[in-house]
Amino acid sequence: MMKNRVYKLKAIGSFLALIMVLISCERDLSDDAVEAGFPTTGEIFTDNFVAMGSNFYFPFQGAKPDVFSVDNQVAYESNSSIRIDVPNANDPDGSFAGAIFRSDAGPRDLSGYDALTFWARATQGVAIGEMGFGVDFEGDRFRVARTNVSLSTAWQKIIIPIPDASKLTQERGMLWFSAGTQDTGGNAYTFWVDEVQFEKLGTIAQPRPRILEGQDQVTSSFTGSDLPIGGLTQTLNSANGDITVTAAPAYFDFSSSDNSVATIDSSGIAMVSGPGTTVISASLAGIDAAGSLTINSLGNFTSAPVPTRDPSNVISVFSDAYNNVPVDYYNGFFTPDGQTTQGGAPPANFGGDNVITYTDLNFVGIGTFLNVPTVNASSMTHIHVDLQVRETIDPGDFIRLQLINNVGGNESSGSVTLSSNQLQENQWVGFDVPLANFTGLASRDQLGLIFFVSDSTISNLFVDNIYYYTVPTSPVVAAPTPADPSSNVISLYSNAYTNVPVDTFRTPWSSAATTLTDEVIAGDDVKKYATLGFAGIETTSNTIDATGMTHFRIDTWSAGYTQFNIKLVDFGANGVFGGGDDTEHEVSITSPATGQWVSHDIPLSDFTGLVNRDNIAQYIIVAQPFEGTDVFVDNIYFRN
């Protein structure tokens, strides 16, 4: 026991002495010591992996996971190589080969090199889709890719230049690849990679960075929009000629000529913050990049109305409100056929709202038939689309909406033309078009193309909320609950307010085929006018003085009306029908949305013939097609 105690005391004493030594040397260490950096090892794979740790291989999502192995039979001037077995396109475990090699031993300082190099060959001539470095699944901040890397059956050296080596002081993404079977008709093949390393070649020179593929582009946008700057490349000369790689935004230094209009962050996203004009440009390693983006900010953006249809009745192609079907493209770029339309890909984002924008429009197609299933809209009754024309609309201008079924097979198509008087300049207009109106569309079980055609009469167009839907025969949700204060309301019919006395909701002189029943929808009381032609509502015993009101509201729901009219009748100073002082006016709502509640909030000033408003006694509702559809009604009231 005593020996143990003495040993412990000695150990403590030694430890205290060591602390005193360290304290006494602290000033010398802080003055002279150099902070240890990350290892500068350039080799990744020679005869085996170099300083990569034990857990370094990570396949991409959707890729076949087991394509990688170390081949001890095939190598370039060594004993082994990295072998990648690219699967058949129809392999159930994954249709392509793609993965990253990430250093499990920690980051490396690669700032002393100018290229990633390796030797490679394949079982046949083939182009590997992408190969590069900087992908670590932890942000991929310094991602670099060389695309369509051409391999043959003979070994050849592949060089992937570093856009700016000074950025790579802590990099873990040593190598990545993505390889499919586009060049082999879907058939599997193998390629090998050997002597993988970062090198200082000394022959990498003449940097020529570009943004937006080197083009000077101009775009219009709105406050709150995020505009990603794409087309980021660096071209460098090597002993084998020019090599172009795609480079992550973090290699570039971006700038905005007017930060009050838009700023741009290190991820290459321009964030529009106010009206005006600014120019986005960039440099890489102190060299100005070719290309720029001029942003003309138009101020605040008004989104298209948010769809409210039941998702179970919808097949959506493009809408933030629903889950969309897969789409091949929003612009097919049919250039051999004379298409001039630009835009559409990717959709623009205005303050969080995704919108398809087209310029130079003559025709454009949205495709769902190349690599994704076609749309089976056999059970759907309508197509909806919101359009906003971004220019002056002249007589004769139009947008033709065309649908094509079974593209390239037993093809059929039909179209509907939206004329200039149906469109509005710089305002959203929603169109609900019965699919039966697409004459010539023999079936709709394999809808693969949606065309917008203007024949250049309209050049600039915004598109949103493209979806097919079926209209149920009656509502399943209640009408919107009004939010107007009761002190500002004179209500005829609404659960939200105390209603004034109403003599009748269906006068004897209403159209004979129209019947009225009281219904309850999702706990809310509504009036159902079956086969509505016209129906009269009367407050003749207690006429309404609406002189202090500004609007008349009525909520309607119908599966099939194409027009809805409301007429207000004032009985004049004597308060009785006739006598020469009655006034009235009828307002028509054309193409109201079907299959959903529509709140018609109509300014009383629109009832121009309603000279008097102090003895309103009759309210006449009319639907087209006449006596051809049921109309549900709720929330009938005047408001101020």
Reported as a single tens digit per residue, the pLDDT across 470-495 is: 988 899 899 999 999 999 999 999 99
Type of residue numbered 91 = D
Specify the domain boundaries for CATH 2.60.120.430 within the chain: 43-202, 311-469, 489-639
Residue with tokens 């995020």: 226
Nearest 5°: the CA angle 126, 128, 131 is: 155
Q: In sequence order, which residues have a C-beta less than 8 Å from that of residue 419 and are 6 or more positions away?
A: 398
Structure token digits, residue 257: 């000529």
**Helices and strands of the chain, counted as H and E runs:** 1, 43
Asked whether residue 13 carries a pLDDT value surpassing 80, the answer given is no
Q: Give the start-end residues of each E strand in 9-64.
A: 43-45, 57-59
Reported as a single tens digit per residue, the pLDDT across 586-598 is: 999 998 988 899 9
Report which of 225, 229, 232 is spatially closest to residue 269, judged by C-alpha positions.
229
Beta strands 292-297; 216-221: pairing state: parallel
Asked whether residue 121 carries a pLDDT value surpassing 90, the answer given is yes
pLDDT at 472: 85
pLDDT at 409: 80
- Classify the phi-psi angles of 510: left when phi > 0, otherwise alpha if psi is within -120 to 50, otherwise beta: beta
44 alpha carbon, distance to own chain's centre? 39
Report which of 306, 446, 431 is spatially closest to residue 370, judged by C-alpha positions.
446
Structure token digits, residue 580: 């020469």
Average pLDDT in the 288-295 region?
96
pLDDT at 351: 79
Pick the CATH number of 489-639 from 2.60.120.430, 2.102.10.10, 3.40.50.170, 2.40.50.100: 2.60.120.430
pLDDT at 348: 84
Please name every residue paired with 583 in a beta bridge, in sequence order, or none if there are none.
570
Beta strands 253-256; 292-297: pairing state: unpaired
Q: Is-contact 194 75, C-beta < 8 A?
A: yes
Give the integer Cα–Cα distance in Å for 179 and 570: 76
Give the integer Cα–Cα distance in Å for 634 and 508: 21
Look at 30-39, 374-383, 561-570 and tell me which has the smallest mean pLDDT.
30-39
CA atoms within 13 A on the CB side of 28: 5
Give the integer Cα–Cα distance in Å for 330 and 221: 19
Reported as a single tens digit per residue, the pLDDT across 57-67 is: 999 999 999 99
Q: In sequence order, which residues have a C-beta less than 8 Å from that of residue 100 and are 6 or more positions away?
A: 57, 58, 60, 135, 136, 137, 173, 175, 176
Q: What is the DSSP letter of 171?
A: B
Asked whether residue 11 carries a pLDDT value surpassing 80, the answer given is no
Specify the domain boundaries for CATH 2.60.40.10 within the chain: 206-298
Q: Is-contact 27 94, C-beta < 8 A?
A: no
Reported as a single tens digit per residue, the pLDDT across 350-382 is: 878 899 999 999 999 999 988 788 999 999 999
Could you write out the DSSP letters of every residue in 475-497? -SSPPPPP-S-GGGEEEEE-TTS
Pinpoint the alpha helices (H) of 443-598.
none
The pTM assigned to this predicted structure is 0.62
Say whether domain 206-298 belongs to CATH 2.60.40.10: yes
Q: How would you list the strands of the sheet with 412-419, edge to edge?
A: 363-367, 447-453, 398-405, 412-419
Considering the domain 43-202, what is its CATH architecture? Answer: Sandwich (2.60)
pLDDT at 333: 85
Q: Which CATH topology does 311-469 take?
A: Jelly Rolls (2.60.120)
pLDDT at 309: 87
Give the integer Cα–Cα distance in Å for 44 and 38: 15
Q: In sequence order, which residues have a C-beta less than 8 Å from that of residue 612 and are 6 or more positions away?
A: 570, 572, 573, 581, 583
Q: Is-contact 471 595, C-beta < 8 A?
A: yes
Q: In sequence order, which residues have a C-beta less than 8 Å from that of residue 184 and are 6 or more positions away?
A: 124, 126
Reported as a single tens digit per residue, the pLDDT across 145-167 is: 999 999 999 999 999 999 999 99
Instruction: Work out the pLDDT band at 23, boundaries 50, 70, 90.
Output: very low
Give the integer Cα–Cα distance in Å for 216 and 349: 21
Report which of 109, 70, 97 is spatially closest to residue 196, judged by C-alpha positions.
70
Asked whether residue 103 carries a pLDDT value surpassing 60, the answer given is yes
Instruction: Work out the pLDDT band at 36, boundaries 50, 70, 90.
Output: low
Average pLDDT in the 324-346 region?
87
